[in-house]
Amino acid sequence: MKAPAAQYVANWRRRTRAVAQHERGRAWLLHRWELDAARVLVLFLV
């Protein structure tokens, strides 16, 4: 019982860390996309 529980906790920690990194990367991509969209809008308006 003890070993599988430890394995489960380790897997859960690894999965949450991977999800957190993925969320951070997606937020960065979204931020870059917003910057690119703003640049295009400025080019069109000027």
Quote the pTM value. Answer: 0.47
DSSP 4-33: HHHHHHHHHHHHHHHHHHHHHHHHHHHHHH
Q: In the chain, where are the structural domains located?
A: 1-46
Q: What angle do CA 27, 28, 29 make, to 5 degrees?
A: 90
pLDDT of residue 14: 92
What pLDDT, in 10s, does the model give residues 2-35?
A: 778 889 989 999 999 988 888 888 888 888 988 8
